[in-house]
Structure 1
Amino acid sequence: MKYYKALFVLSLVLILLIPLTAGCSADVSSTDGYWPTEGWKTSTPEAQGMDSAKINEMFNYIKLSKLDIHSILIVRNGYLVTEGYFYPYRKEYRHILNSATKSITSALVVLALENGFIKSIDQKVVDIFPGMEIKNLDDRKKNMTIRHLLTMTAGLEWSETGAYGAPYDSNTQMWAGENQLQYLLDKPMKEEPGKSFYYNSGASHALSAIVQKTTGRASLEYATERIFKPLGISGISWGTDKQGINSGSSRIFMKPEDLAKYGLLYLNKGKWEDKQLIPEKWVEESTRKQIDTPNGLAGRHGYGYQWWQNRFGGYSARGFAGQYLFVVPEHNLVAVFTSGLASDKFYAPEELMEDYIIRATKATQALNENKAAYDELTNTLASLNKAPAPAPAAALPEIAGQISGNTYVMDNKETYSFEFNDGNECIMHWFCDGVMYDVKIGLDGIYRENAMDAFYWKGMTTKAAFRGAWTDADTFAVDLVPLEDCNTYRQEFRFNGSKLNAKMMQVLNRAVTTDTNGTVKE
Structure 2
Amino acid sequence: MKRMLLLLTGLFSIIASAQIKDLYVTEGIINELHRFNIGKVTFMEGNIPLDKYKKSDFLKSYALSQKSDLNIRVFMDNSVANYLHRLAPALPAEELMKKGNLQFSFYVDDTFIYKENIHHGCNFGSGGNKNTSTTFRVPFTSTKGEDWWAMYMWDRFKANGGENALSDGMHRLRIEIRPYINNNNTITTGELIAQGGVELIIKTSKITAKEIAVQPINPGSGWEVSELPYDKKKIEALNLDIANYTLKEITSIIVIRDGKLMLEEYFNDAGRNTLHDTRSAGKSFTSTLMGLAITDGYIKNEKQTLDTFYDLKQFANYEARKDSVKVADLLMMSSAFAGSDSNNDSPGNEENMYPTDNWVKFTLDLPMDPAKTNGGQWDYFTAGVVVLGDILNKTIPGGLEKYADEKLFKPLGITKYQWQYTPQHVVNTAGSLQMRSLDYAKYAQLYKNNGIWNAKQLLSSDWVQKTLTMQIQIPGRDNQFYGYLFWNKTYSYKGKNHEVFYCAGNGGNEFIIFKDLPLVVIITSKAYNKPYGHPQADRIVGEYLLPAVLN
TM-score when normalising by structure 2: 0.55
Task: Determine whether 1:311 maps to 2:490.
Answer: yes
SS in 2 for 1:314: strand
More off after superposition, 68-77 vs 352-361: 352-361
Task: Determine whether 1:262 maps to 2:443.
Answer: yes
> Offset of 1:167 from its aligned partner?
11
Q: Which has the higher contact order (CA 8 A, sep 6+)?
A: 1
> Offset of 1:49 from its aligned partner?
4.6
SS in 1 for 2:513: strand
Task: Determine whether 1:70 maps to 2:251.
Answer: yes
Q: Quick one: structure 1 residues 37 and 92, their matched pair in 2 at CA, closer, same or farther if it must change by over 3 Å? A: closer
| Preserved contact between residue 48 and residue 77 of structure 1 (Cα < 8 Å) | no
- 1:326 aligned residue (475, 499, 512): 512
Match of 2:420 in 1: 239
For 2:239, the aligned partner's letter is F
> Offset of 1:50 from its aligned partner?
2.8
> Offset of 1:60 from its aligned partner?
2.0
Match of 2:131 in 1: none
> Offset of 1:86 from its aligned partner?
1.0
> Offset of 1:332 from its aligned partner?
0.8
For 1:248, the aligned partner's letter is T
C-alpha distance in 1, partners of 2:252/2:522? 8
Match of 2:138 in 1: none
Match of 1:335 in 2: 521
Match of 1:171 in 2: 350
Match of 2:222 in 1: 39
Within-5 A mapping of 1:49-60: 49-60=229-240
Runs of 5+ unmatched residues, structure 1: 1-35, 364-522
For 2:283, the aligned partner's letter is K
For 1:351, the aligned partner's letter is R
| Preserved contact between residue 348 and residue 383 of structure 2 (Cα < 8 Å) | no
Task: Determine whether 1:302 maps to 2:481.
Answer: yes
> Offset of 1:132 from its aligned partner?
7.2
| Preserved contact between residue 470 and residue 481 of structure 2 (Cα < 8 Å) | yes
Deviations 1:110-139 (A, max 9, x none): 111111111121111132123872221212
> Offset of 1:168 from its aligned partner?
7.6
| Preserved contact between residue 103 and residue 317 of structure 1 (Cα < 8 Å) | yes
More off after superposition, 126-135 vs 170-179: 126-135
For 2:539, the aligned partner's letter is E
SS in 2 for 1:327: strand
C-alpha distance in 1, partners of 2:276/2:397? 28
Task: Determine whether 1:281 maps to 2:467.
Answer: no
- 1:148 aligned residue (329, 340, 357): 329
Task: Determine whether 1:188 maps to 2:374.
Answer: no
| Preserved contact between residue 123 and residue 145 of structure 1 (Cα < 8 Å) | yes
Within-5 A mapping of 1:9-408: 39-43=222-226, 47-64=227-244, 65-130=246-311, 133-161=314-342, 170-190=349-369, 191-295=372-476, 301-312=480-491, 313-341=499-527, 342-347=529-534, 348-362=536-550
Q: Quick one: structure 1 residues 162 and 344, their matched pair in 2 at CA, closer, same or farther if it must change by over 3 Å? A: farther
Deviations 1:430-461 (A, max 9, x none): xxxxxxxxxxxxxxxxxxxxxxxxxxxxxxxx
SS in 1 for 2:550: coil
Q: Quick one: structure 1 residues 273 and 162, their matched pair in 2 at CA, closer, same or farther if it must change by over 3 Å? A: farther
Q: Quick one: structure 1 residues 37 and 305, their matched pair in 2 at CA, closer, same or farther if it must change by over 3 Å? A: farther
C-alpha distance in 2, partners of 1:37/1:202? 39
C-alpha distance in 2, partners of 1:249/1:41? 32
> Offset of 1:329 from its aligned partner?
3.1
C-alpha distance in 1, partners of 2:331/2:305? 13
SS in 1 for 2:463: helix
Match of 2:127 in 1: none
Deviations 1:5-63 (A, max 9, x none): xxxxxxxxxxxxxxxxxxxxxxxxxxxxxxx99712223xxx32532222222222333
| Preserved contact between residue 342 and residue 349 of structure 2 (Cα < 8 Å) | no
SS in 2 for 1:75: strand
| Preserved contact between residue 161 and residue 169 of structure 1 (Cα < 8 Å) | no
Deviations 1:451-509 (A, max 9, x none): xxxxxxxxxxxxxxxxxxxxxxxxxxxxxxxxxxxxxxxxxxxxxxxxxxxxxxxxxxx
> Offset of 1:300 from its aligned partner?
6.7
C-alpha distance in 2, partners of 1:130/1:49? 58
Match of 2:176 in 1: none
| Preserved contact between residue 266 and residue 283 of structure 1 (Cα < 8 Å) | yes
SS in 1 for 2:516: helix
| Preserved contact between residue 327 and residue 388 of structure 2 (Cα < 8 Å) | yes
Q: Quick one: structure 1 residues 60 and 248, their matched pair in 2 at CA, closer, same or farther if it must change by over 3 Å? A: same
For 2:533, the aligned partner's letter is F
Provide the identity percentage.
Answer: 28
C-alpha distance in 2, partners of 1:92/1:55? 22
Deviations 1:182-212 (A, max 9, x none): 1111111112111100001111111111111
Runs of 5+ unmatched residues, structure 2: 1-218, 492-498
Report the number of matched residues.
Answer: 321
Large movers: runs of 4+ above 6 Å: 166-169
Q: Quick one: structure 1 residues 133 and 49, their matched pair in 2 at CA, closer, same or farther if it must change by over 3 Å? A: farther
| Preserved contact between residue 218 and residue 246 of structure 1 (Cα < 8 Å) | no
SS in 1 for 2:337: coil
Match of 2:124 in 1: none
For 1:361, the aligned partner's letter is V
C-alpha distance in 2, partners of 1:291/1:102? 17
| Preserved contact between residue 294 and residue 300 of structure 1 (Cα < 8 Å) | no
